[in-house]
Amino acid sequence: MDRDTVTRVAKVARLELTEEELVSFHSDLEKVLDYLSVLDEAPESGSFNFNPIPVEDVLRDDVPVQEHDPAVLLRDMRTYQDYIRGPLL
Amino acid sequence: MFCAINPDLDHLQDGQFDFHFSAKDNLTTVGLPTRAGSRILEGYRPAFDAHAVEAMRQAGGLLLGKTNMDEFGFGTFSTNSAFGVPRNPFDLDRSCGGSSGGAACATAVLDGHVALGVSTGGSISCPAAFCGVMGLTPTYGRVSRHGLLDYGNSLDKVGLISRRAADLEMHLRNIAGPDPRDPTSCAQPPMGKSAPVRSIAVPKDALEGVSDEVSRSFQDALDRLRDDLGLKVETVETPSFRFAMPSYYVLGCSEASTNLARYCGLRYGVQSEEITEHFDKYFSRIRSENFGREAKRRILLGTFARMVGFRDRYYMKALQVRELIIQEYQRVFQDHDLLLTPAMPFTAPRFDAIDDMDILEVYKADYLTIPPNISGMPHLSMPCGYAQGMPVGMQFVANHWQEGLLFDIAQRWEEAFRLRAPEVTA
């Protein structure tokens, strides 16, 4: 992983790195990726799941419910007439 | 060890509750802040209790407070919290382990306490071993993750830390069961009683890389399991376990990098007064200012592992390796009830020694706890000896849904082994 790749990955992850962080993470990630290359030696299992146990969809009737009081959910957010305020699009 | 105390404690009457408990700070709690060890969640007040917290309260438990942890569970020594570092009650210059370090410490010093912990790659076994208490990580999906601030959603398990085997069984029955709010909890069979444990498998290379003092305690424990408890102990080969750790860091970091995308200074925790910036600049600034170093490192690694061109080599391969490890465990469990290793390769390290570790040394410290975690197998860390006054832990692993075998061995070992309490008390 070169330094430009670290910068590109950070941008995708929405992280602004200082010069010191860039140098340090570049070094750390190179070490870690070097270690991860042992995965190339692992045999193919032929199958996989996204969870360690079989999981099935759980469905419910399509009926609107209100689990939480919207006022409680909004109490710590910056709002304007019950809309959440955010930065510019 | 606590990063928030229940503000109502002074007003609550003795005798009103059947037991006291704590919740790791990545479980949501009404009336107490939930920050998961991260500055980015400063000010977050959840509107609901996590399922496990709700179940413990309904069972008659008094929530004492929230226990400190590595930021979002990213760590082995609880040194990655934005809110201080819990110290080991057996030696205050040493780590409690992580990431449920505060939970294990509270259990060690508070008589009769039971702590809710969470394990992704070993965050219950490790601190339980370092603090000389019992740590139970149930099968993935046994306890609903509703209200858990995800680290890796295919890896996270809510579990328990206690000084008494009976408490582990009683409270797992309180918090386990299907919950439609977490579909992964709905595939579980009921938790029944199991036949007594008769045979234990020990991987041939279980002591490779383990310190001499941990090896000695572990060997003594094997002798006692054989001689005093009458168990058959046999050596087995587990060649695919060496791929568990790299797979874990790929899967854990990949999932973490997506799960942590929601923390951007809008809906939870920290918000900036200044919101006139473009959203991209605003989100990046809030995240950069408030995530800790280890969180940033894991987000970068996970984002990289999922990128086009690298996804097949890392993420897809890691998923296949997880399947191999599950198959390997299940081969062992055809002939044995449990698999046993030390819980950690060394006793709780001093903080100055941790400072000197490089990133790979820290990651590699988890190599014994990762195989059962990545494969979702239930496991139990129990003290098995003391080395220069510090606790040594061993870790039993059972097949999916076989927690009953762990309760059986926990009770029998508890009768055979004298647990020590630290001299430091709360």
What's the pLDDT tens digit per position in B60-109?
Answer: 999 999 999 999 999 999 999 999 999 999 999 999 999 999 999 999 99
Å from B80 to nearest chain A CA?
16
Alpha-helix runs per DSSP H in chain A: 3-12, 19-36, 70-74
Contact B155, B252 (CB under 8 A): yes
Of A42, A68, A84, the CB nearest to B321: A42
The domains found in chain B, sorted by start residue, are 2-239+325-416 (3.90.1300.10), 245-314 (no CATH)
Q: Scanning every residue of chain B, which has its alpha carbon at the shortest distance from the alpha carbon of A71? A: B47
Residue burial B198-208, b: 16+ Cβ < 10 Å; e: rest: eebbbbeebbe
What fold, for A3-40? Histone, subunit A (1.10.20)
Contact assignment for A36 to B249 by CB distance below 8 Å? yes
B342: tokens are 């030390």
Cβ-Cβ contacts under 8 Å for B157 (sequence gap 6 or more): B118, B119, B120, B124, B137, B138, B139, B140, B142, B143, B373, B376
Which pLDDT band, with edges at 50, 70 and 90, does B425 fall under? low
| Residue contact B278–A75, C-beta within 8 A | no
- Closest chain A residue to B284 measured between Cα atoms? A14
Interface list for B 121-140 with A (CB within 8 A): 139-140
Nearest to A52 among B154, B267, B359 (CB): B154
How far apart CA B309 and CA A26 sit, in angstroms, is: 19
The rounded mean pLDDT for chain B is 96
Q: How far apart are CA B335 and CA B398, in angstroms?
A: 12
Residue B182 DSSP label = B
Written as six digits, the tokens of B107 are 């259990």
Size of interface A-B (CB pairs under 8 A): 175
* CA A48 centroid distance within chain: 21
Three-state DSSP class for residue B24 = strand
pLDDT exceeds 70 at position B14: no
Kindly list the residues from chain B whose CB atom is less than 8 angstroms away from the CB atom of residue A16. Answer: 284-285, 288
Which value does ipTM take for this structure? 0.95
The answer to whether the Cβ–Cβ distance between B183 and A58 falls below 8 Å is: yes
Instruction: Kindly state the average pLDDT of the residues B340-368.
Output: 97
CA distances from B310 to A27, A32, B44, B255 (A): 19, 15, 35, 15
Task: For chain A, 89 residues long, give each residue's pLDDT as a single digit of tens.
Answer: 899 999 999 999 999 999 999 999 999 999 999 999 999 999 987 788 899 999 988 888 999 999 889 888 888 888 888 888 889 88
Using a 10 angstrom Cβ sphere, with 0-12 exposed, 13-18 middle and 19 or more buried, the burial of residue B357 is middle
Q: Which chain A residues are Cβ-neighbours of B261 within 8 angstroms?
A: 14
Kindly list the domain boundaries of chain A, sorted by start residue.
Answer: 3-40
Using an 8 Å CB-CB cutoff, list chain B residues near A44.
320
